[in-house]
Amino acid sequence: MGGKGMKPLTFKQLPLVVKIAVGIAFYNAWLSIEEFVINRHGLWKHMPYYNLTDPCIWDLAVAIIIVLAIWRASSGLTPSAEH
**Tens of pLDDT, residues 30-62:** 999 999 999 999 898 998 988 887 889 999 999
38 near 44, Cβ under 8 Å?
A: yes
Average pLDDT, the chain: 87
For the chain, the domain total comes to: 1
How many angstroms separate the CA atoms of 4 and 69, rounded?
32
Q: Which pLDDT score, from 0 to 100, does residue 7 have?
A: 86
> Considering the domain boundaries, does residue 66 fall inside one?
yes
Asked if pLDDT for residue 22 goes beyond 80, the answer is: yes
For residue 57, tell me if it sits in a domain. yes
Q: Whole-model pTM above 0.85?
A: no
Spatial CA neighbour of 22 closest among 34, 35, 9:
9
Angstrom distance (rounded) from CA 12 to CA 73 = 6
Q: Identify whether 11 is part of a domain.
A: no
Asked, for residue 64, whether it belongs to a domain, the answer is yes
Q: Taking 90 as the threshold, does the pLDDT of residue 9 lie above it?
A: no
26, 63 Cβ separation under 8 angstroms: no
Per DSSP, 12 falls in state G
Residue 53 lies in a domain: yes
Residue 18: inside a domain, yes or no?
Answer: no
- Residue 63 inside a domain? The answer is yes
What domain range is 64 assigned to? 49-75
